Chains A and B, each alone.
Chain A
Amino acid sequence: MDNAWSESEMKRERLKILLPSLREKERYVRFKVISEGPIQYSDLEAAVWNLFLDFYGELGVSELSLWLIKNLWDEKNQTGVVRCNNKSVQKVVAGLGVVSRLGDTRVIFKILKISGTIKGLKLK
Protein backbone atom coordinates (compact mmCIF):
# COMPACT_ATOMS: atom_id res chain seq x y z
CA MET A 1 0.00 0.00 0.00
CA ASP A 2 1.11 3.54 -0.66
CA ASN A 3 0.55 4.79 2.85
CA ALA A 4 2.23 1.82 4.55
CA TRP A 5 5.44 3.25 6.01
CA SER A 6 8.63 1.31 6.45
CA GLU A 7 9.85 0.67 10.02
CA SER A 8 12.74 3.10 9.69
CA GLU A 9 10.40 5.85 8.58
CA MET A 10 8.04 5.19 11.51
CA LYS A 11 10.85 5.53 14.03
CA ARG A 12 11.78 8.93 12.64
CA GLU A 13 8.18 10.09 12.88
CA ARG A 14 7.63 12.23 15.99
CA LEU A 15 4.98 14.64 17.16
CA LYS A 16 6.00 18.25 17.40
CA ILE A 17 6.31 19.51 20.95
CA LEU A 18 3.13 21.32 21.94
CA LEU A 19 3.17 24.90 23.11
CA PRO A 20 3.07 25.13 26.93
CA SER A 21 -0.39 26.70 26.80
CA LEU A 22 -1.69 23.75 24.79
CA ARG A 23 -0.20 21.06 26.99
CA GLU A 24 -2.23 19.31 29.68
CA LYS A 25 -1.33 20.53 33.17
CA GLU A 26 -0.03 17.65 35.21
CA ARG A 27 -0.13 16.90 38.90
CA TYR A 28 1.93 14.31 40.73
CA VAL A 29 0.50 12.70 43.87
CA ARG A 30 3.05 11.05 46.15
CA PHE A 31 1.58 8.42 48.44
CA LYS A 32 2.69 5.90 51.03
CA VAL A 33 1.15 2.47 51.31
CA ILE A 34 0.59 1.36 54.89
CA SER A 35 0.11 -2.39 54.77
CA GLU A 36 0.20 -5.60 56.78
CA GLY A 37 3.26 -6.79 54.84
CA PRO A 38 5.53 -5.70 51.96
CA ILE A 39 3.80 -5.26 48.63
CA GLN A 40 4.96 -5.59 45.03
CA TYR A 41 4.59 -2.94 42.34
CA SER A 42 2.66 -5.37 40.12
CA ASP A 43 0.01 -5.87 42.84
CA LEU A 44 -0.24 -2.12 43.35
CA GLU A 45 -0.62 -1.43 39.64
CA ALA A 46 -3.28 -4.10 39.15
CA ALA A 47 -5.30 -3.05 42.21
CA VAL A 48 -5.19 0.67 41.41
CA TRP A 49 -6.19 0.24 37.76
CA ASN A 50 -8.96 -2.25 38.58
CA LEU A 51 -10.33 -0.05 41.35
CA PHE A 52 -10.32 3.10 39.23
CA LEU A 53 -11.95 1.31 36.30
CA ASP A 54 -14.61 -0.11 38.63
CA PHE A 55 -15.21 3.13 40.48
CA TYR A 56 -15.10 5.71 37.68
CA GLY A 57 -15.60 3.52 34.61
CA GLU A 58 -13.57 3.56 31.40
CA LEU A 59 -14.77 6.97 30.28
CA GLY A 60 -14.19 8.44 33.74
CA VAL A 61 -10.64 7.09 33.91
CA SER A 62 -9.91 8.46 30.44
CA GLU A 63 -10.61 11.96 31.80
CA LEU A 64 -8.14 11.54 34.67
CA SER A 65 -4.98 11.04 32.54
CA LEU A 66 -4.01 8.55 35.21
CA TRP A 67 -0.56 6.98 35.23
CA LEU A 68 1.37 5.13 37.90
CA ILE A 69 5.05 5.94 37.55
CA LYS A 70 6.96 2.68 37.85
CA ASN A 71 10.47 4.03 38.34
CA LEU A 72 9.36 6.23 41.25
CA TRP A 73 8.06 3.26 43.26
CA ASP A 74 10.22 2.93 46.38
CA GLU A 75 9.86 -0.64 47.58
CA LYS A 76 11.80 -0.02 50.79
CA ASN A 77 9.63 2.86 52.03
CA GLN A 78 6.52 1.67 50.15
CA THR A 79 6.01 5.04 48.54
CA GLY A 80 4.96 5.76 44.98
CA VAL A 81 3.82 8.49 42.63
CA VAL A 82 0.72 8.69 40.50
CA ARG A 83 0.30 11.24 37.73
CA CYS A 84 -2.96 12.83 36.68
CA ASN A 85 -4.18 16.12 35.22
CA ASN A 86 -4.75 19.20 37.35
CA LYS A 87 -8.54 18.99 37.09
CA SER A 88 -8.83 15.48 38.47
CA VAL A 89 -6.58 15.55 41.54
CA GLN A 90 -9.52 15.26 43.94
CA LYS A 91 -10.93 12.34 41.96
CA VAL A 92 -7.61 10.49 42.05
CA VAL A 93 -7.07 11.09 45.78
CA ALA A 94 -10.66 9.96 46.51
CA GLY A 95 -10.07 6.86 44.38
CA LEU A 96 -6.85 6.00 46.21
CA GLY A 97 -8.83 6.22 49.46
CA VAL A 98 -11.20 3.53 48.24
CA VAL A 99 -8.38 1.01 47.64
CA SER A 100 -8.59 -1.27 50.65
CA ARG A 101 -6.73 -4.37 49.44
CA LEU A 102 -3.73 -5.10 47.25
CA GLY A 103 -4.13 -8.79 46.47
CA ASP A 104 -4.78 -10.34 49.87
CA THR A 105 -3.03 -7.59 51.83
CA ARG A 106 -5.08 -4.90 53.56
CA VAL A 107 -3.76 -1.42 52.89
CA ILE A 108 -4.27 2.26 53.65
CA PHE A 109 -3.04 4.97 51.28
CA LYS A 110 -1.53 8.00 52.94
CA ILE A 111 -1.17 11.07 50.73
CA LEU A 112 2.24 12.63 51.29
CA LYS A 113 2.34 15.48 48.78
CA ILE A 114 0.71 16.82 45.64
CA SER A 115 2.87 18.81 43.24
CA GLY A 116 2.99 20.07 39.68
CA THR A 117 6.48 18.65 39.13
CA ILE A 118 8.33 15.53 40.19
CA LYS A 119 11.06 17.76 41.56
CA GLY A 120 8.47 19.45 43.78
CA LEU A 121 7.74 16.15 45.48
CA LYS A 122 11.26 16.35 46.94
CA LEU A 123 12.13 12.75 46.26
CA LYS A 124 15.44 11.70 47.74
Chain B
Amino acid sequence: MADKKSFSLNLQKLGPFIGLLVITIILAVMSPNFLTLNNILNVLRQVSINALIAFGMTFVILTGGIDLSVGAILALSGALTAGLMTGGMDPLLAILVGLLAGTAMGMVNGLLVAKGKVAPFIATLATMTIFRGLTLVYTEGRPITGFDSDMFTMLGAGYLFNIPVPVIWTIGCFAVLYFILKKTAFGRRVYAIGGNEEAAILSGIKVSRVKVYIYALTGFLSALAGIILTSRLNSAQANAGMGYELDAIAAVVLGGTSLSGGRGWIFGTLIGAMIIGVLNNGLNLLEVSSFYQQVVKGSVILLAVLLDRKKAA
Protein backbone atom coordinates (compact mmCIF):
# COMPACT_ATOMS: atom_id res chain seq x y z
CA MET B 1 0.00 0.00 0.00
CA ALA B 2 2.65 2.46 1.06
CA ASP B 3 4.87 1.49 -1.86
CA LYS B 4 2.11 1.94 -4.35
CA LYS B 5 1.32 5.32 -2.92
CA SER B 6 4.83 6.69 -3.14
CA PHE B 7 5.05 5.31 -6.65
CA SER B 8 1.97 7.12 -7.88
CA LEU B 9 3.19 10.24 -6.11
CA ASN B 10 6.44 10.05 -8.00
CA LEU B 11 4.60 9.55 -11.24
CA GLN B 12 2.59 12.64 -10.56
CA LYS B 13 5.72 14.60 -9.84
CA LEU B 14 7.49 13.16 -12.89
CA GLY B 15 4.59 13.98 -15.22
CA PRO B 16 5.68 17.51 -16.15
CA PHE B 17 9.26 16.32 -16.64
CA ILE B 18 8.16 13.56 -18.99
CA GLY B 19 6.06 16.11 -20.86
CA LEU B 20 9.05 18.39 -21.30
CA LEU B 21 11.16 15.46 -22.52
CA VAL B 22 8.57 14.38 -25.08
CA ILE B 23 8.17 17.89 -26.47
CA THR B 24 11.95 18.32 -26.62
CA ILE B 25 12.41 15.05 -28.52
CA ILE B 26 9.66 15.86 -30.99
CA LEU B 27 11.12 19.30 -31.67
CA ALA B 28 14.65 17.91 -31.92
CA VAL B 29 13.54 15.45 -34.59
CA MET B 30 11.57 18.06 -36.51
CA SER B 31 14.10 20.86 -36.40
CA PRO B 32 17.86 20.27 -36.66
CA ASN B 33 18.58 23.69 -35.16
CA PHE B 34 16.71 22.97 -31.98
CA LEU B 35 19.21 20.91 -30.00
CA THR B 36 22.21 23.18 -30.47
CA LEU B 37 24.01 24.69 -27.50
CA ASN B 38 23.33 28.20 -28.70
CA ASN B 39 19.67 27.59 -29.09
CA ILE B 40 19.35 25.91 -25.72
CA LEU B 41 21.03 28.83 -23.98
CA ASN B 42 18.75 31.13 -25.89
CA VAL B 43 15.69 29.22 -24.73
CA LEU B 44 16.88 29.28 -21.15
CA ARG B 45 17.37 33.02 -21.30
CA GLN B 46 13.87 33.52 -22.66
CA VAL B 47 12.47 31.23 -20.00
CA SER B 48 14.14 33.04 -17.14
CA ILE B 49 11.77 36.04 -17.06
CA ASN B 50 8.65 33.89 -16.91
CA ALA B 51 10.29 31.46 -14.48
CA LEU B 52 11.13 34.20 -11.98
CA ILE B 53 7.55 35.48 -11.98
CA ALA B 54 6.15 31.96 -11.87
CA PHE B 55 8.25 31.13 -8.80
CA GLY B 56 6.47 33.86 -6.89
CA MET B 57 3.16 32.81 -8.38
CA THR B 58 3.78 29.29 -7.06
CA PHE B 59 3.86 30.58 -3.49
CA VAL B 60 0.73 32.63 -4.04
CA ILE B 61 -1.15 29.75 -5.64
CA LEU B 62 -0.01 27.34 -2.92
CA THR B 63 -1.83 29.51 -0.38
CA GLY B 64 -4.93 29.35 -2.55
CA GLY B 65 -4.49 32.85 -4.00
CA ILE B 66 -3.65 34.32 -7.39
CA ASP B 67 -1.71 37.41 -8.48
CA LEU B 68 -2.76 39.09 -11.70
CA SER B 69 -0.64 42.20 -11.14
CA VAL B 70 2.79 40.63 -11.77
CA GLY B 71 3.06 41.90 -15.35
CA ALA B 72 2.18 45.43 -14.26
CA ILE B 73 4.65 45.30 -11.37
CA LEU B 74 7.30 44.16 -13.85
CA ALA B 75 6.57 47.13 -16.10
CA LEU B 76 6.45 49.77 -13.37
CA SER B 77 9.61 48.54 -11.62
CA GLY B 78 11.49 48.29 -14.89
CA ALA B 79 10.37 51.76 -15.94
CA LEU B 80 11.25 53.21 -12.56
CA THR B 81 14.76 51.79 -12.65
CA ALA B 82 15.22 52.94 -16.23
CA GLY B 83 13.88 56.39 -15.52
CA LEU B 84 16.10 56.89 -12.48
CA MET B 85 19.19 55.78 -14.41
CA THR B 86 18.53 58.11 -17.35
CA GLY B 87 17.96 60.79 -14.75
CA GLY B 88 21.53 60.24 -13.59
CA MET B 89 21.15 57.93 -10.62
CA ASP B 90 23.77 55.31 -9.93
CA PRO B 91 22.61 52.10 -11.72
CA LEU B 92 23.03 49.94 -8.64
CA LEU B 93 20.96 52.33 -6.57
CA ALA B 94 18.35 52.55 -9.31
CA ILE B 95 18.08 48.77 -9.40
CA LEU B 96 17.66 48.71 -5.65
CA VAL B 97 14.89 51.29 -5.81
CA GLY B 98 13.19 49.26 -8.54
CA LEU B 99 13.34 46.10 -6.48
CA LEU B 100 12.05 47.89 -3.40
CA ALA B 101 9.20 49.42 -5.38
CA GLY B 102 8.21 45.99 -6.68
CA THR B 103 8.32 44.56 -3.17
CA ALA B 104 6.18 47.41 -1.89
CA MET B 105 3.63 46.87 -4.65
CA GLY B 106 3.47 43.19 -3.75
CA MET B 107 3.03 44.17 -0.15
CA VAL B 108 0.03 46.28 -1.08
CA ASN B 109 -1.48 43.21 -2.72
CA GLY B 110 -0.75 41.17 0.37
CA LEU B 111 -2.33 43.70 2.72
CA LEU B 112 -5.44 43.93 0.55
CA VAL B 113 -5.79 40.15 0.56
CA ALA B 114 -4.77 39.41 4.14
CA LYS B 115 -6.04 42.42 6.09
CA GLY B 116 -8.64 43.81 3.71
CA LYS B 117 -10.04 40.33 3.06
CA VAL B 118 -10.47 41.14 -0.62
CA ALA B 119 -10.54 38.08 -2.88
CA PRO B 120 -7.05 37.79 -4.45
CA PHE B 121 -8.43 37.74 -7.97
CA ILE B 122 -10.28 41.02 -7.46
CA ALA B 123 -7.57 42.72 -5.40
CA THR B 124 -4.81 42.03 -7.92
CA LEU B 125 -7.08 42.75 -10.88
CA ALA B 126 -7.53 46.23 -9.43
CA THR B 127 -3.87 46.77 -8.56
CA MET B 128 -2.86 45.44 -11.98
CA THR B 129 -4.87 48.23 -13.55
CA ILE B 130 -3.51 50.80 -11.10
CA PHE B 131 0.16 49.78 -11.52
CA ARG B 132 -0.20 49.68 -15.30
CA GLY B 133 -1.79 53.09 -15.20
CA LEU B 134 1.01 54.43 -13.02
CA THR B 135 3.53 53.06 -15.53
CA LEU B 136 1.82 54.99 -18.30
CA VAL B 137 1.80 58.12 -16.15
CA TYR B 138 5.49 57.73 -15.29
CA THR B 139 6.69 56.97 -18.82
CA GLU B 140 4.15 59.27 -20.48
CA GLY B 141 3.59 56.33 -22.77
CA ARG B 142 7.05 56.58 -24.32
CA PRO B 143 9.87 54.02 -24.08
CA ILE B 144 12.72 54.98 -21.75
CA THR B 145 16.06 54.16 -23.26
CA GLY B 146 19.73 55.12 -23.44
CA PHE B 147 21.51 53.61 -20.42
CA ASP B 148 25.31 53.83 -20.56
CA SER B 149 26.14 51.31 -17.89
CA ASP B 150 27.95 48.08 -18.83
CA MET B 151 27.00 46.64 -15.49
CA PHE B 152 23.32 47.19 -16.23
CA THR B 153 23.56 45.70 -19.71
CA MET B 154 25.39 42.71 -18.27
CA LEU B 155 22.42 42.01 -16.02
CA GLY B 156 20.05 40.96 -18.78
CA ALA B 157 22.13 40.60 -21.91
CA GLY B 158 25.51 39.45 -20.62
CA TYR B 159 27.20 36.11 -20.22
CA LEU B 160 29.17 34.60 -17.37
CA PHE B 161 31.27 31.52 -18.24
CA ASN B 162 29.23 31.36 -21.47
CA ILE B 163 25.98 31.19 -19.51
CA PRO B 164 23.47 34.00 -19.98
CA VAL B 165 23.35 36.07 -16.79
CA PRO B 166 19.53 35.94 -16.45
CA VAL B 167 19.79 32.15 -16.32
CA ILE B 168 22.17 32.45 -13.38
CA TRP B 169 19.70 34.74 -11.61
CA THR B 170 16.94 32.24 -12.21
CA ILE B 171 18.93 29.27 -10.96
CA GLY B 172 20.00 31.21 -7.89
CA CYS B 173 16.45 32.25 -7.06
CA PHE B 174 15.21 28.75 -7.72
CA ALA B 175 17.72 27.24 -5.30
CA VAL B 176 16.83 29.68 -2.54
CA LEU B 177 13.07 29.36 -3.03
CA TYR B 178 13.22 25.58 -3.31
CA PHE B 179 15.03 25.48 0.00
CA ILE B 180 12.50 27.83 1.60
CA LEU B 181 9.52 25.75 0.54
CA LYS B 182 11.09 22.42 1.33
CA LYS B 183 13.20 22.98 4.39
CA THR B 184 11.94 25.94 6.37
CA ALA B 185 9.16 26.59 8.82
CA PHE B 186 7.95 29.31 6.46
CA GLY B 187 7.48 26.76 3.69
CA ARG B 188 5.44 24.57 6.00
CA ARG B 189 3.20 27.48 6.83
CA VAL B 190 2.61 28.15 3.14
CA TYR B 191 1.39 24.60 2.53
CA ALA B 192 -0.70 24.58 5.71
CA ILE B 193 -2.48 27.82 4.80
CA GLY B 194 -3.33 26.51 1.35
CA GLY B 195 -4.43 23.15 2.74
CA ASN B 196 -6.70 24.46 5.49
CA GLU B 197 -6.52 28.11 6.41
CA GLU B 198 -8.69 27.82 9.50
CA ALA B 199 -6.66 24.94 10.90
CA ALA B 200 -3.53 27.00 10.21
CA ILE B 201 -4.89 29.97 12.17
CA LEU B 202 -5.92 27.73 15.05
CA SER B 203 -2.44 26.19 15.04
CA GLY B 204 -1.04 29.61 15.85
CA ILE B 205 0.23 30.43 12.38
CA LYS B 206 0.17 34.16 11.64
CA VAL B 207 -1.65 33.68 8.38
CA SER B 208 -1.97 37.36 7.47
CA ARG B 209 1.73 37.94 7.93
CA VAL B 210 2.69 34.93 5.82
CA LYS B 211 0.39 36.12 3.04
CA VAL B 212 1.86 39.63 3.06
CA TYR B 213 5.36 38.13 2.81
CA ILE B 214 4.32 35.93 -0.08
CA TYR B 215 2.78 38.69 -2.17
CA ALA B 216 5.77 40.90 -1.36
CA LEU B 217 8.10 38.12 -2.52
CA THR B 218 6.14 37.85 -5.75
CA GLY B 219 6.40 41.61 -6.18
CA PHE B 220 10.16 41.43 -5.64
CA LEU B 221 10.60 38.64 -8.18
CA SER B 222 8.43 40.46 -10.72
CA ALA B 223 10.54 43.59 -10.26
CA LEU B 224 13.71 41.55 -10.74
CA ALA B 225 12.22 40.12 -13.94
CA GLY B 226 11.30 43.64 -15.02
CA ILE B 227 14.82 44.95 -14.50
CA ILE B 228 16.34 42.01 -16.37
CA LEU B 229 13.90 42.56 -19.23
CA THR B 230 14.70 46.28 -19.36
CA SER B 231 18.40 45.47 -19.49
CA ARG B 232 17.99 42.86 -22.21
CA LEU B 233 15.85 45.08 -24.43
CA ASN B 234 17.91 48.12 -23.50
CA SER B 235 14.68 50.00 -22.98
CA ALA B 236 11.68 50.11 -20.66
CA GLN B 237 8.24 50.13 -22.21
CA ALA B 238 4.94 51.02 -20.60
CA ASN B 239 3.29 47.97 -22.09
CA ALA B 240 6.06 45.55 -21.08
CA GLY B 241 4.91 42.33 -19.43
CA MET B 242 1.35 42.44 -20.77
CA GLY B 243 -0.19 39.01 -20.30
CA TYR B 244 2.83 37.69 -18.39
CA GLU B 245 0.55 36.82 -15.46
CA LEU B 246 -1.14 34.25 -17.66
CA ASP B 247 2.16 32.66 -18.74
CA ALA B 248 3.22 32.46 -15.10
CA ILE B 249 -0.05 30.88 -14.01
CA ALA B 250 0.24 28.44 -16.92
CA ALA B 251 3.77 27.48 -15.83
CA VAL B 252 2.58 26.84 -12.28
CA VAL B 253 -0.35 24.73 -13.42
CA LEU B 254 1.75 22.81 -15.96
CA GLY B 255 4.12 22.04 -13.12
CA GLY B 256 1.37 20.25 -11.26
CA THR B 257 0.52 22.77 -8.56
CA SER B 258 -3.13 22.73 -7.59
CA LEU B 259 -5.00 25.98 -8.19
CA SER B 260 -7.02 25.33 -5.05
CA GLY B 261 -3.86 25.54 -2.97
CA GLY B 262 -1.94 23.34 -0.57
CA ARG B 263 -0.47 20.99 -3.13
CA GLY B 264 2.45 21.51 -5.52
CA TRP B 265 6.13 22.26 -5.76
CA ILE B 266 8.42 24.79 -7.27
CA PHE B 267 10.52 22.39 -9.33
CA GLY B 268 7.36 21.62 -11.27
CA THR B 269 6.99 25.33 -11.98
CA LEU B 270 10.54 25.49 -13.37
CA ILE B 271 9.70 22.61 -15.69
CA GLY B 272 6.38 24.22 -16.57
CA ALA B 273 8.12 27.45 -17.52
CA MET B 274 10.56 25.46 -19.63
CA ILE B 275 7.75 23.65 -21.43
CA ILE B 276 6.27 27.00 -22.41
CA GLY B 277 9.69 28.36 -23.42
CA VAL B 278 10.61 25.30 -25.45
CA LEU B 279 7.25 25.34 -27.22
CA ASN B 280 7.64 29.04 -28.12
CA ASN B 281 11.13 28.52 -29.43
CA GLY B 282 10.42 25.26 -31.24
CA LEU B 283 7.35 26.60 -32.97
CA ASN B 284 9.38 29.63 -34.06
CA LEU B 285 12.09 27.41 -35.48
CA LEU B 286 9.46 25.38 -37.29
CA GLU B 287 8.15 28.67 -38.69
CA VAL B 288 4.68 28.13 -37.34
CA SER B 289 2.70 31.33 -37.61
CA SER B 290 2.45 33.16 -34.32
CA PHE B 291 -1.33 32.93 -34.58
CA TYR B 292 -1.17 29.15 -34.58
CA GLN B 293 1.46 29.15 -31.85
CA GLN B 294 -1.11 30.41 -29.39
CA VAL B 295 -3.51 27.65 -30.39
CA VAL B 296 -0.80 25.05 -29.77
CA LYS B 297 0.24 26.56 -26.43
CA GLY B 298 -3.32 26.65 -25.18
CA SER B 299 -3.91 23.09 -26.26
CA VAL B 300 -0.81 21.83 -24.46
CA ILE B 301 -1.93 23.49 -21.23
CA LEU B 302 -5.38 21.97 -21.58
CA LEU B 303 -3.94 18.54 -22.31
CA ALA B 304 -1.67 18.70 -19.27
CA VAL B 305 -4.50 19.64 -16.96
CA LEU B 306 -6.76 16.94 -18.38
CA LEU B 307 -4.05 14.30 -17.90
CA ASP B 308 -3.57 15.53 -14.34
CA ARG B 309 -7.28 15.22 -13.62
CA LYS B 310 -7.30 11.69 -14.92
CA LYS B 311 -4.45 10.70 -12.64
CA ALA B 312 -6.13 12.27 -9.63
CA ALA B 313 -9.38 10.36 -10.27
Q: Do A and B associate with each other?
A: no
